[in-house]
Amino acid sequence: MLDVLRRIVQEVNGARSLDAALATMVRRIRKAMHTDVCSIYLFDAAQDRLVLMNTIGLRSQAVGHVSLRLGEGLVGLVGQREEPLNLEDAPSHPGFRYFEETGEERFSSFLGVPVIHQRRTLGVLVVQQQEKRRYDEGDEAFLVTMAAQLAGVLAHALATGTLNRPTRTPGMATFTGVAASPGMVIGEARVIAPPADLDSVPDLVPTDIEYEIRRLGEAIERVRGEIRAAGARLSSRIPSQELALFDVYEQMLADAALGQEVEKRIREGQWAPGALADVVRRHAQYLERVDDDYLRERAADVRDLGRRVLAHLQQEASDGPGEYPEQCILVGDELSVTMLGEVPRERLAGLVSLKGSSTSHVAILARAMGIPTVLGMVDLPLPRLNGAPVILDGHRGRLFVRPEEDLVGHYRKLIDEERALAEVLEHEQHLPSVTPDGHAMPLMVNTGLAVDAVASLKPRIAGVGLYRTEVPFMITERFPGEQEQSRLYRDQLEGFAPLPVVMRTLDIGGDKDLPYFPIHEANPFLGWRGIRVTLDHPEVLMVQLRAMLRASVGLDNLRIMLPMITNVDEVDTALRLLERAHKELSEEGLSIRRPEVGVMIEVPATLYQLSALAERVDFFSVGSNDLTQYLLAVDRNNPRVAELYDACHPAVLSALAQLAAESRRLAMPATVCGELAGDPCGALLLTGMGFVGLSMNAPSLPRVRAAIRRVSLSDAQALVDETLGLPTARAVRAHLVERFAQWQLTHLLPPRDEQER
């Protein structure tokens, strides 16, 4: 059964349109369940009704015409109750409703299950049988599993359908994701695919078919040349049997085979990369299904050849000049830091990605660069988005594709208002971060993920609260050497001197991978991360510690911070290594002041070991991003659970409040460097709790400073007391919004929809 299930999902997934997906679905399910009828009803929110969209077994004229309210008839009942309904004698059920056009009177038995995606009912899947049949437990379980599996596929196909089908507002489609970096922008979508990935090539209609065919031919020729050369290189080293494979490959690429099919697809209206991807996928899928090991293996060969040809096509495309529009909204399945680097900074206006969430590192980078970003747009149809005019709303997590004139006008106004506010706030950026009742709250910046404008920042901040050293490691092709690191660190330390700079030792793992040191794990955030990696590789940590110490000679503004600390002995070991590094450099004749050392409080275990930690280090810095993820058991990167991730969850706030109080008792300075510190509401709560400094992305400084300068410490403390008594994150957020409104500070919060106010 599992095999049948998987195949059906695969086929539906491969369908080229919503209609094709639905038709495949009902046909295959009817066959698998040996039943007379299978139908799918989809919920149309505009009509508030479930509409029959496809059927095999009922009269086809009924499709698109028969519809029911939630609660109406058996199908409506399934939709309303959100649970299966299994009836041997359906017409005798009080909820039964007869539609003449379906010819339904002939069917006695009924089994309906809801299709639900992320708590939203998308539709109802129904099977029916002419003679009385008790669908057994196995049938019910099969249909429920089918519906759950198809829900995601369907949500995606539906979203694609919205773009392709004429709707009441032609062409306009709205998609929602996770708001990851604030700001709004009107621009043009540019879909970017990871190099040579056949599964993420967007569909595009070619403007010049002959040109597409020509470049396809050239790319194929180049790959044939490569294969011939590889064969010749290996001819003396591998057996002739294996060598014959190269001939087969070359043959596959010959005009008569693959090439001609791709050409045909181009003539049907698909650009060369899309046509190639379609044909290769179809061949590979066919081969994968065949019951023959040898042929199944060939599926991998076909894909490999396809990737090679695609690489040539993409290489040529990326050589083209002026390919990015002026207001470029970069859209991708999973945006990586390298992809951002491909667009000239002055053109990069916004980011959208299907994967990722608000504290993933692409999001942090986007915030540091001030680029509006929405991630986790799981239902976004990448094909056909390229070149579309869009509005990106990074506050509310929305993308409007082909927006109406009215909406564009509305957003122009909002963007102007936001610009005006930024100008107003700019006037007070040189003023101290002090509450009206005289409490100073030092503001610092997080650096490392972007080129930071040191000169303009320096007079406005109290130092660097977090320098993420991962970045220099990410952009090299091997671990950078001591001198190389030392130069970079010296730039940071010198640039901000005499202000303190907190340098964090390498924090890789989780979602931060080094290309030359990949870590593949089932649970990367619970695995080999941060200090766990560097203590296992003292040679890497020692080089880094020596580079930091060396860079600080004569400046004395270095502080060192250890990430992902879980156990006290990790601190002891790291301190021993630091001591050794210091001694080695002293022996080389360098006079270096021993830097202060701190730990990140981001693994919940440390909350219960504060006094043991305090005996060993000089400061605590709270990583609220990870502390939230670990306290709530919510992957900070997973859009499916993004709604559950909230640093204002009462449990997180209680933990933070206790941590601040305990740190004060231990006379340990405790600051916060996670994203919560850069949120004006979060910043006030942390001030009220008693933290002694906040470190954030530079673009967050103006709003946070404005909030601190307008709300007294006693009001911030009262705010903490009020929120700690609230039961849910939603209640906390609502309360914060209310208080900000009373203080007339609503303009400091991200703009929201009218109905949310």
How far apart CA 384 and CA 70 sit, in angstroms, is 33
Site track for ligand PEP across 299-328, x = CB under 6 A: ------------------------------
Is 549 in a helix, a strand, or coil?
A: helix
Q: Which distant-in-sequence residues (6+ apart) come within 8 Å of 263 by Cβ?
A: 213, 216, 275
Of 585-614, which residues contact ligand PEP (CB under 6 A)?
602
- Shorter beta-carbon distance to ligand PEP: residue 66 or 601: 601
- Does position 623 bind ligand PEP by CB under 6 A? yes
> Catalytic residue numbers?
361, 673
Work out how close the CB of 357 gets to ligand PEP at its nearest, in angstroms, rounded to a whole number. Answer: 12
Judged by CB under 6 A, the residue of 102, 624, 637, 663 near ligand PEP is 624
Residue 743: burial class (beta carbons within 10 Å; 0-12, 13-18, 19+): middle
- Shorter beta-carbon distance to ligand PEP: residue 190 or 468: 468
Token pair in block for residue 478:
């091997």
Work out how close the CB of 504 gets to Mg ion at its nearest, in angstroms, rounded to a whole number. Answer: 9
Q: Residue 707 binds which entry of ligand PEP, Mg ion, none, with Cβ cut-offs from 5 to 8 Å by kind?
A: none
| Cα angle 443, 444, 448; round to 5 | 160
Q: If binding means CB under 6 A, how many residues of this protein chain bind ligand PEP? A: 11
Work out how close the CB of 606 gets to ligand PEP at its nearest, in angstroms, rounded to a whole number. Answer: 12
Angstrom distances, CA of residue 434 to CA of 181, 492, 719: 26, 26, 17
- Report DSSP letters for 86-134, one per residue: EESSGGGSTT----GGGTGGG--EEEEEEEEETTEEEEEEEEEESS---
| Cα angle 499, 505, 508; round to 5 | 130
- Shorter beta-carbon distance to ligand PEP: residue 11 or 452: 452
- Shorter beta-carbon distance to ligand PEP: residue 660 or 673: 673
Using the contact rule CB under 6 A, the part of the chain among 161-169, 619-627, 656-664, 737-745 near ligand PEP is 619-627
Work out how close the CB of 569 gets to Mg ion at its nearest, in angstroms, rounded to a whole number. Answer: 20
- Does position 626 bind ligand PEP by CB under 6 A? yes
- Shorter beta-carbon distance to ligand PEP: residue 364 or 694: 364
Site track for ligand PEP across 497-516, x = CB under 6 A: ----------x---------
- Does position 637 bind ligand PEP by CB under 6 A? no
Judged by CB under 6 A, the residue of 360, 625, 663, 687 near ligand PEP is 625
CA atoms within 13 A on the CB side of 518: 3
- Shorter beta-carbon distance to ligand PEP: residue 227 or 574: 574
Q: Are 496 and 458 in contact (CB under 8 A)?
A: yes
Q: Which distant-in-sequence residues (6+ apart) come within 8 Å of 716 by Cβ?
A: 435, 684, 685, 687, 688
On the question of a cis peptide bond just before residue 498, with omega within 30 degrees of 0, the verdict is yes
Work out how close the CB of 502 gets to ligand PEP at its nearest, in angstroms, rounded to a whole number. Answer: 11
Work out how close the CB of 520 gets to ligand PEP at its nearest, in angstroms, rounded to a whole number. Answer: 20
Using the contact rule CB under 6 A, the part of the chain among 35-43, 327-335, 622-630, 681-689 near ligand PEP is 622-630
Kindly state the DSSP code that residue 203 receives in the 8-state scheme: P
- Shorter beta-carbon distance to ligand PEP: residue 517 or 525: 525
How far apart CA 124 and CA 42 sit, in angstroms, is 7
Q: Are 181 and 37 in contact (CB under 8 A)?
A: no
- Does position 373 bind ligand PEP by CB under 6 A? no
Work out how close the CB of 608 gets to ligand PEP at its nearest, in angstroms, rounded to a whole number. Answer: 18
Residue pointed to by tokens 């996670």: 674
- Shorter beta-carbon distance to ligand PEP: residue 161 or 674: 674
- Shorter beta-carbon distance to ligand PEP: residue 129 or 625: 625
Q: Residue 198 binds which entry of Mg ion, ligand PEP, none, with Cβ cut-offs from 5 to 8 Å by kind?
A: none
- Shorter beta-carbon distance to ligand PEP: residue 275 or 364: 364
- Shorter beta-carbon distance to ligand PEP: residue 42 or 647: 647
- Does position 686 bind ligand PEP by CB under 6 A? no
Using the contact rule CB under 6 A, the part of the chain among 53-61, 201-209, 515-523, 621-629 near ligand PEP is 621-629
How many Cβ atoms are within 10 Å of 380's Cβ, its own excluded? 26
How far apart CA 747 and CA 424 sit, in angstroms, is 11
Judged by CB under 6 A, the residue of 32, 443, 673, 716 near ligand PEP is 673
Q: Which distant-in-sequence residues (6+ apart) come within 8 Å of 587 by Cβ?
A: none
Q: Which of 462, 484, 492 is nearest to 552 (CA)?
A: 492
Q: Are 135 and 90 in contact (CB under 8 A)?
A: no
Q: Residue 550 binds which entry of ligand PEP, Mg ion, none, with Cβ cut-offs from 5 to 8 Å by kind?
A: none
Q: Residue 190 binds which entry of Mg ion, ligand PEP, none, with Cβ cut-offs from 5 to 8 Å by kind?
A: none
Residue pointed to by tokens 């309904």: 85
Q: Residue 674 binds which entry of ligand PEP, Mg ion, none, with Cβ cut-offs from 5 to 8 Å by kind?
A: ligand PEP
How far apart CA 718 and CA 437 sit, in angstroms, is 14
How far apart CA 443 and CA 464 sit, in angstroms, is 9
Work out how close the CB of 629 gets to ligand PEP at its nearest, in angstroms, rounded to a whole number. Answer: 8
Longest dimension (CA), the chain: 96
Q: Are 399 and 374 in contact (CB under 8 A)?
A: yes
Work out how close the CB of 637 gets to Mg ion at its nearest, in angstroms, rounded to a whole number. Answer: 12
Strand order in the sheet with 120-129: 67-69, 49-56, 37-44, 120-129, 109-117, 85-87
Work out how close the CB of 723 gets to ligand PEP at its nearest, in angstroms, rounded to a whole number. Answer: 20
Question: Which helix H or strand E contains 280, and what residues bound it?
Answer: helix 272-289
How far apart CA 46 and CA 43 sit, in angstroms, is 9
Site track for ligand PEP across 438-477, x = CB under 6 A: ----------------------------x-x---------
Q: Residue 679 binds which entry of ligand PEP, Mg ion, none, with Cβ cut-offs from 5 to 8 Å by kind?
A: none
- Does position 534 bind ligand PEP by CB under 6 A? no
Using the contact rule CB under 6 A, the part of the chain among 77-85, 175-183, 228-236, 623-631 near ligand PEP is 623-631
Q: Which of 19, 20, 53, 58 is nearest to 36 (CA)?
A: 58
Of 46-85, which residues contact ligand PEP (CB under 6 A)?
none
- Shorter beta-carbon distance to Mg ion: residue 171 or 527: 527
- Report DSSP letters for 563-607, one per residue: -S--SHHHHHHHHHHHHHHHHHHHHTT---PPPEEEEEE-SGGGG
- Does position 674 bind ligand PEP by CB under 6 A? yes
Work out how close the CB of 512 gets to ligand PEP at its nearest, in angstroms, rounded to a whole number. Answer: 8
How far apart CA 317 and CA 215 sit, in angstroms, is 10
How far apart CA 135 and CA 86 sit, in angstroms, is 7
Q: Residue 357 binds which entry of Mg ion, ligand PEP, none, with Cβ cut-offs from 5 to 8 Å by kind?
A: none
Q: Is the dihedral of CA 554, 556, 557, 563 positive or negative?
A: positive
Q: Residue 468 binds which entry of ligand PEP, Mg ion, none, with Cβ cut-offs from 5 to 8 Å by kind?
A: ligand PEP
Binding site for ligand PEP (CB under 6 A): 364, 466, 468, 507, 602, 623-626, 673-674
